[in-house]
A and B are shown apart, each in its own frame.
Chain A
Amino acid sequence: MKCQFCGKNDATIHVTNVIGNDVQKIHICQDCAETKGFDNLKKSNFEKNGFLAGLVDSSLPEKERQERRCGHCGRTYAAFSKSAGLGCSKCYDSFGDDIERVLKRIHGNARHLGKSPRRYCTEKVNARRRIRALEDELRISVDVENYERAARLRDEIADLRKGMETR
């Protein structure tokens, strides 16, 4: 087999390149491997941006979209929509609903579950976490038709909810 790049030398290197769904077979000679920088087949920023660019599509009217910028760092909406890159932590507030939509597209949802800094480990946050965990258990209980347990869990969740509202 001849090298895919120069078509002259015999291909001595056969590479299976798997990026996500894409399987590429590359047949290349040693010379070309060196000169074409195959030692450096890396995920370029271009590729990353290409993938992310499509993620931001806004519901905002064009004019408002153009004018919008983060009040803290000054990053423009246009820059954000090009790469899904943020300028500072306040951008997450500044770009409002669009952020949420982008996050849903990337991650399938827009609500954090997991660790938090100690300053956020308040009673309220802990209660909300407990509720989410109980809701998971509730779903499982219903699935396995353990209705007695499900009823207990439902009560517990309701109590926690009430407690959060009154606080």
Chain B
Amino acid sequence: MKQKQLQTLLKSPATWLSEGGEESELVLSTRVRLARNIEGRTFTHCAEASELESVRAEARDALEQAASMKDSVYLDMNETTDRERLILSERRLISQDMVKRFNNRGLVVLRGEKLSVMLNEEDHLRLQSFEAGLALNEAFDRVSRLDDELDGSLEFAFSDQFGYLTACATNVGTGLRVSAMVHLPGLVQNGDIRKVSDGLRHVRLNVRGSYGEGSGVAGNFFQISNSITLGLSESDTIMNMDAHIRKVLEFEKNARKSLLKEARSLLEDKIWRAYGTLRNARVLDSREAMGLISAVRLGVGLGLITDTGLSDLNEMLIMIQPMHLQMLYEKVMGPDERDRSRADYIRSRLKAS
């Protein structure tokens, strides 16, 4: 039964992947999460199994009542396999930590995956929402609405001075972490990425060169997120971040423009070669594939490549990950076989479109 629910959930890609959204040429997705704990209960990392169990049950009850979570699936992590948890983490529904520490943990996911709640991760509840493109306000509103709905049935740990109390001092206050996954090939190419990340750090924003939480750096994808959660209201956090991210996007657009002006044929050559490789390669490891997809993504953004689209490429970025490939081909594969399947999959996607 549980198995079947998980399969249904994973069969179709998350809806936010293919919705485009604002600035979708440069921003893949926006994620917002709220950390919440239940008053009087020991935080997860110090709690005994029995307490975790009752926290999870209490949170689950509350989530069942919440209007925002109608049509959602509950997964007891104890009943999942290692591979299933890895798939969930590739989809960014659970953290790397939860892949390893899963006892008495849980996950509630709304169909379409725009809204989900991790139970007994670092905090008792981690509410998170995803949106396509740059959509900080939409993502926050969605997760905040759920927070309001839960407020009635759960008593969240809160102090007048420190705000929402969390297991780690870095999240206390709003418990809010806003992040955007941005694609910055222009700034990497012209070397300004360093200046930009220094600048963002200066305004207390983090930049991580990665795709997804805990994965390697590849494909010129960067995650920008806030680090301050205390003394700055949710709306100010979002307003600041939105302004700074838009500034970065402006830099990226200018970088692309001058690349086109100064080295048009070189750039075009790189993009078309990448496209040619993706459509013809027989073996692709994930790093190479991400680099090529990054180049093609740039080609689509510049209007050079028109027979594939951003949403296809976004979906590919998820599907070419090791566990997703194995799910797609319905078998366990070693690295070599995966590299072949990855190339097959990408070829079939690019031919079909």
Residues of A at the B interface (CB closer than 8 Å) are 12-13, 15-21, 23, 30, 33-34, 38-43, 52, 55, 73, 75, 83-89, 92, 99, 102-103, 106-120, 125
Listed A/B pairs (6) with beta-carbon separation below 8 Å: A20-B207, A21-B198, A52-B169, A103-B162, A110-B230, A115-B174
Asked if B167 CB lies within 8 Å of chain A CBs, one says: yes
Identity of the chain B residue whose Cβ is nearest the Cβ of A15 in the assembled complex: B217
The reply on B43 being an interface residue by CB < 8 A is yes
* A116-B158 contact given A18-B208, A19-B208, CB 8 Å threshold: yes
Q: Does B112 contact A (CB under 8 A)?
A: no
The answer to whether B46 touches A112 (Cβ under 8 A) is no
Chain B residue with Cβ nearest A111: B231
A residues in contact with B43, CB < 8 Å: 73, 85-89
A55: chain B residues within 8 A (beta carbon): 169
Q: Shortest 5 CB-CB distances between A and B: which pairs?
A: A112-B163, A89-B157, A42-B214, A107-B230, A109-B231
Query: Which residues on B sit within 8 Å (CB–CB) of A106?
Result: 169-170, 230
CB distance from B202 to the nearest CB of A (A): 10
**Min CB gap B230→A, angstroms:** 4
Q: Report the separation of the CA atoms of residues A85 and B207 in the bound assembly, to the nearest whole angstrom.
A: 23
Given contacts A23-B194, A41-B216, A116-B158, contact A73 B231 (CB under 8 A): no
Complex contact B285–A30 (CB within 8 A) = yes
Q: What is the CB-to-nearest-CB distance from A4 to chain B, in angstroms, rounded to a whole number? A: 14
Closest to B156 in A: A117
User: CB < 8 Å: which of B188, B213, B232 contacts A113?
Assistant: B232
Contacts of B163 in A (CB 8 A): 112-114, 116
- Which of B130-138, B147-155, B311-319 is near enough to bind chain A? B147-155
A-contact bits for B30-54, CB 8 A (1 contact / 0 none): 0000000101111101100000000
> How far does the alpha carbon of A107 sit from the alpha carbon of B232 in the complex, in Å?
9
Given the complex of chains A and B, what is the CA–CA distance between A55 and B173 in angstroms?
A: 17
B72 at the interface (CB under 8 A from A): no
- Taking the closest CB of chain B, its distance from the CB of A17, in whole angstroms, is 5
B88 interface residue per 8 A CB criterion: no
In the complex, the answer to whether A103 meets B168 with C-beta atoms within 8 Å is: no
Q: Please give, as numbers and ranges, the residues of chain A lying within 8 Å of B210 by CB-CB distance.
A: 41
| Chain A proximity of B353: nearest CB distance (Å) | 27
A84 touches B285 (CB 8 A): no
Known contacts A85-B43, A89-B43, A114-B232; 17 additional CB pairs below 8 A are A16-B217, A20-B201, A39-B287, A41-B215, A42-B214, A55-B169, A89-B40, A89-B165, A92-B162, A112-B159, A112-B162, A112-B164, A114-B174, A114-B233, A116-B163, A120-B158, A125-B160
What residues on B are CB-neighbors of A12 within 8 Å?
Answer: 288
Q: Cβ of B308 < 8 Å from any Cβ of A?
A: no
The answer to whether B159 and A92 touch across the interface, beta carbons within 8 angstroms, is yes
B118 contacts the other chain (CB 8 A) = no
Asked if A84 and B170 make an inter-chain contact with CB atoms under 8 angstroms apart, the answer reads: yes
Across the interface, which residues of B come within 8 angstroms of A109, CB to CB?
230-231
- Contact A108 to B231, CB < 8 A, known contacts A86-B43, A114-B174: yes
Nearest residue (CB) in A for B158 is: A117
Closest A residue to B202 by CB, please name it. A21
Given A87-B42, A106-B170, are A115 and B198 also a contact pair (CB < 8 Å)? Answer: no
Closest chain A CB from B334 CB (angstroms):
11
Give the residues in chain B near A92, CB-CB below 8 Å: 159, 162, 165, 172
